[in-house]
Structures are given as structure tokens and as C-alpha cells.
Amino acid sequence: MLNKVPYLIALEPQFKPRVWGGRRLAERFGLATDKPIGEAWMVFDENRIASGPYAGRALAEVLPELGEAFLGRAVVERYGYRLPLLVKFLDTAQWLSVQVHPDDSYARAHEAESGWLGKAEAWVVLEAEPGARVIYGVKRAVTRAELRAAALDGSILELLNFVPVQKGDVIYVPPGTIHALGPGLLVYEVSQRSDLTYRLYDYGRG
């Protein structure tokens, strides 16, 4: 069976304009747009296949045909015929929202209709301008009420842990970790197949 599965399936990226995005992705992929492109979704089961016998079809459509030989038995048993990963590039010209992702159990209980599970992610910093930082967790233990009040009045930034980053850093962000990418970064992100994001604070951007 393995010899029937293409060794390599090239996917067409999905480009996502974001208010915090920069110009690097548009320039590197030759996009004719003035919009700030914040994300390029490179590996996602809704991406279309670029070439070969499955060209033009969404990866999700052919995964049942490719079966366990492509996905692996453990993946099929846990997720069915769905790609469990989402791989993207992020280009940040401004701060991303202060956010947190749920775990699988919370997503199943409260977000089942969305079709997403929880989200663990990891960042590989490909480029970092001098002084680049990320938000990772809080400085000290806080109560739910204190965090809620700080998010509402904008003082939440005083509670958060700002971490300097540089090219080559790898940062794992488990579900439940408050986080945000700062300006001046090009990041390679590997995460669970989920876009569930709870924003705690977004600098007045709405």
C-alpha cells in the first residue's frame, strides 16, 4: 500500500491578511497586494494540492483515499481522516492580541460546533529585529477576577511576562498559556489543527 501514496504532496498556501501583518510574506511569495499579510498557511487539510494526480483538490478530499498509509494508523484512530497539524509562517509588524488557546477537552465541551480541537503550538524564530519580544505567561499568580479586570481596563500588560527572542529560538506554547508575538518577527509555527483563539486584550483594535 505504501508505494501507492505519493512521497510528496505540494500544497498551495493560504495567505491571511492581518491588521498586525507585515510585507515579508507578500514579497517572498510574489503576491500583488498592498494588504499586510500576517499568515501563510502552508500545511492545512483545506489547502489545495498544487500538482500531481490530485492537483486542484483540497487535501481533505483525498485523505480518505490516501488512508492510513499516508496519515498513519495512530492519527486515523485519534482524528479520523483529517490532518492533525497546521503549519504556517507569521510575519509580525505589530503586536498580536494577548491570547490563549484551549486544550482538547475544553474545546470538545464548549466548541464542538466549531469543528476545532484545542491548540498546542510551537514557534521557530526565523528572523528577529533587534529588541524583538514575545509575551509568554504571567509574572506572578493571579486570580481569575484580577485577570478579567486587568483585561478590561488595559492594565493586563503589567501582569504579563515579556521575553526577548532572537533568530533560532524555539518556543513551545501549551494550551492555557497566555501569549503574543511582538513586532519584527518572522516565525515558523507548528500547531494542532485549530484556530480557536480567545483574545484577552487587543490594544484597542476592536
24 band by pLDDT with thresholds 50, 70 and 90: very high
57-64 mean pLDDT: 96
Question: Which pLDDT score is estimated for 205?
Answer: 85
Q: Quick one: which of 203, 177, 201 has its CA closest to 191?
A: 177
**Whole-angstrom distance, CA of residue 52 vs CA of residue 42:** 17
**Averaged pLDDT, 163-190:** 98
What's the pLDDT score for residue 2?
A: 46
Q: Rounded to an integer, what distance in angstroms lies between the CA atom of residue 22 and that of residue 8?
A: 30
Say what the pLDDT of residue 98 is: 97
Residue 3 has pLDDT above 80, yes or no: no
Strands (DSSP E) along 44-169, which ranges?
85-92, 98-100, 121-128, 133-138, 160-164
The per-residue pLDDT for 199 is 95
> Residue 153 corresponds to which cell in the numbers above?
481596563
Tell me the β-bridge partners of 21.
92
pLDDT at 1 over 50: no
Q: How confident is the model at residue 4 (pLDDT cuts 50, 70, 90)?
A: low
48-63 burial string, b = 16+ CB within 10 Å, else e? Answer: bbeeeebeeebbeebb
Reported as a pLDDT band with limits 50, 70 and 90, residue 5 is low
pLDDT for residue 206 is more than 80: no
Q: What is the mean pLDDT of the chain?
A: 94
Identify whether 108 is a catalytic site residue. Answer: no
- Residue 175's contacts (CB-CB under 8 Å, 6 or more residues apart) are 100, 101, 102, 103, 104, 106, 118, 119, 120
Map out the domains of the chain with their CATH numbers: 2-201 (2.60.120.10)
pLDDT at 188: 98
Give burial (CB, 10 Å; 0-12/13-18/19+) of 116: buried
Q: In this model, does residue 162 exceed pLDDT 80?
A: yes
Assess contact for 183 and 91: CB atoms under 8 A.
no
Contact status, residue 3 vs residue 70, Cβ threshold 8 Å: no
Average pLDDT over residues 103-126: 95
Percent above pLDDT 90 for the chain = 90
Which among 64, 65, 60, 25 is positioned nearest to 41, based on CA atoms? 25
Does this model's pTM top 0.75? Answer: yes
Marked catalytic residue, from 57, 108, 148, 199:
199
Decide if pLDDT at 165 tops 70. Answer: yes
The average pLDDT across 160-174 equals: 98
Over residues 118-140, the pLDDT tens digits come to 999 999 999 999 999 999 999 99
